[in-house]
Amino acid sequence: MRLLIVGSLEGHLTTAGKIALARGAKVAHVDDGDAAMTALRAGQGADLLLVDMRMDIARLIDTMKAERIHAPVVACGLGNDAASAVKAIKAGAKEYLPLPPNAELIAAVLEAVSEESHALIHSDPSMLRTLKLADQIAPSDASVLITGESGTGKEVMARYIHRKSRRSGQKFISVNCAAIPENLLESELFGHEKGAFTGAVARRIGKFEEASGGTLLLDEISEMDPRLQAKLLRAIQEREIDRLGSTTPVKVDIRLIATSNRDLEAEVRRGTFREDLYYRLNVVNLMLPPLRERPTDIALLAQHFAKKYAESNALPERPLTPAALDKLRRHGWRGNVRELENTMHRAVLIAGPDSIDQDALILTGGETASYTAPAPSAPVQAPATQPTDVPSMGGAGTGNLVGRTVADVERDLIIDTLKHTLGNRTHAATILGISIRTLRNKLKLYSDDGIAVPPPGDGERAFG
């Protein structure tokens, strides 16, 4: 855990830093928001920022978003002032921490931030086999390719490997290749010098440099442009990178992990992914099974998420009824763990006071009738046919499509699929069989034409 303290608050934040240090966090301190941005641009990195309420928190958060620097901000102020807490949350802070600091409260905040990205809940034999292999290869520096459907927990697995590695005390840096526009991804990875391009107002250390000594995760690497793949291959082979606008190579020492929800061998055959890069990445391949092939994990994960969202919404923890658990086991879970998490979040909010019954489980698109939970002794298999609740665009046959243009039908299919995935772009692209880049381009065209597009889903970043 890397903690960056911004401000002083009459020495109370220094005391908070000492408490966090005693709890195992690595602590750095800067005087104001500008100094915080300078430190973050220089690759210092942070998993959490504790910020003095007297600072311009909204400006700091907006600047971080504009420069694609992701870290939760917790505002700190003197006394338990409700008005200050509301002001901080409205400014974009994740939490408000009253000072003078309470050791247990600070420990809880650190634990909550750590748990949010590190939880790996499992009991099914298929996951146990995968974790056994992960444990075997974690101590090495070998590159790892983690594959699996969207929402299976690929980023969570990457963090697990990092924590089990010899680099666990160093940085873990994650880059979502699908979420960053193509023209910005090169700068994000390799950094740039001031003036390297329009908008480069200061030198920016890239993720390769920031992760040096630790682990770099390239999430959804299959979405990377082939031109940039060539530069990435050189960085992996030579262990050095060139910042944009610089002529001096920079040596880096990283352990590389990549994830993909696509069949990279098929992408190589299509010519959309470099074969030499594929073999560089695929030293070890960890295939994460979909949730439908982890039947004994469904109840365990559901109970975990029920407890998590009860606590975060200040609601009593309630058990799931047998009928609710049966309904969960019978669902197909095309969105995997991410879909289950969103389902349980909704259920916690609308369930009765004593338990979470099946009526509180609003399953995306309804239950998957074609999926039947296997008997314990039988091999687990995915549904052989397309689930019945995929949008059908008007029923069997093509009668309801006659008279409509292909563009209109395609637009309705994309919008309906996005609604089905609760706005999750990556999951929708997988269902539609198109790249996330193609999906984003089409959604931009629809928005420009004044067509309502579902906003990104709440759990888009929770699992890779």
Is 266 among the domain residues? yes
Number of helices and strands in the chain (H, E): 18, 12
Q: How far apart are CA 294 and CA 134, in angstroms?
A: 17
Q: How far apart are CA 290 and CA 295, in angstroms?
A: 10
Q: How far apart are CA 217 and CA 367, in angstroms?
A: 34
C-beta separation of 52 from 96 below 8 A: no
Alpha carbon of residue 426 to chain centroid: 11
C-beta separation of 294 from 149 below 8 A: no
Same domain, 130 and 231: yes
Same domain, 86 and 225: no
Same domain, 321 and 213: no
Torsion of CA 139, 142, 147, 151, to 10 degrees: 50
In this structure, which amino acid lies at residue 83?
A
| The total number of residues written for the chain in this structure | 464
Same domain, 334 and 273: no
The three-state secondary structure class of 455 is coil
Please give the pLDDT value at position 376: 37
Q: How far is CA 213 from CA 69, 98, 140, 165, 328, in A?
A: 20, 35, 14, 12, 42
Residue that finishes a domain, picked among 118, 136, 160: 118
Is 74 among the domain residues? yes
CATH number at residue 236: 3.40.50.300
Structure tokens that stand for 345 in this block: 């979040």
Same domain, 277 and 313: no
Same domain, 283 and 298: no
The three-state secondary structure class of 287 is strand
Neighbours of 463 (CB within 10 A): 24
Q: How far apart are CA 339 and CA 302, in angstroms?
A: 11
Is 265 among the domain residues? yes
Is 367 among the domain residues? no
The segments of the chain whose pLDDT lies below 70 read 1, 9, 22-24, 79-81, 101, 110-119, 365-404, 457-464
Same domain, 395 and 456: yes
Same domain, 133 and 267: yes
Please give the pLDDT value at position 230: 92
Q: How many domains is the chain partitioned into structurally?
A: 4
In this structure, which amino acid lies at residue 292?
R
Please give the pLDDT value at position 116: 54
Torsion of CA 210, 216, 221, 224, to 10 degrees: 20
C-beta separation of 6 from 51 below 8 A: yes
Is 365 among the domain residues? no
CATH number at residue 92: 3.40.50.2300
Residue that finishes a domain, picked among 360, 375, 409: 360
C-beta separation of 5 from 14 below 8 A: yes
Same domain, 132 and 261: yes
Q: How far is CA 337 from CA 149, 156, 259, 328, 386, in A?
A: 10, 11, 16, 12, 20
Q: Which residue segment(s) compose the domain that 182 sits in? A: 126-287
Q: What is the pLDDT of residues 427-444, one digit of tens each?
A: 778 777 787 878 888 888
Residues with Cβ within 8 Å of residue 1, at least 6 apart in sequence: 20, 24, 25, 26, 47, 48, 110, 113, 114
Same domain, 110 and 136: no
Q: What is the pLDDT of residues 197-223, one digit of tens each?
A: 877 778 888 999 999 999 999 999 999
Is 113 among the domain residues? yes
C-beta separation of 177 from 221 below 8 A: yes
CATH number at residue 303: 1.10.8.60
Is 379 among the domain residues? no
Is 401 among the domain residues? yes
Q: How far apart are CA 337 and CA 124, in angstroms?
A: 14
Same domain, 428 and 441: yes
Same domain, 462 and 423: yes
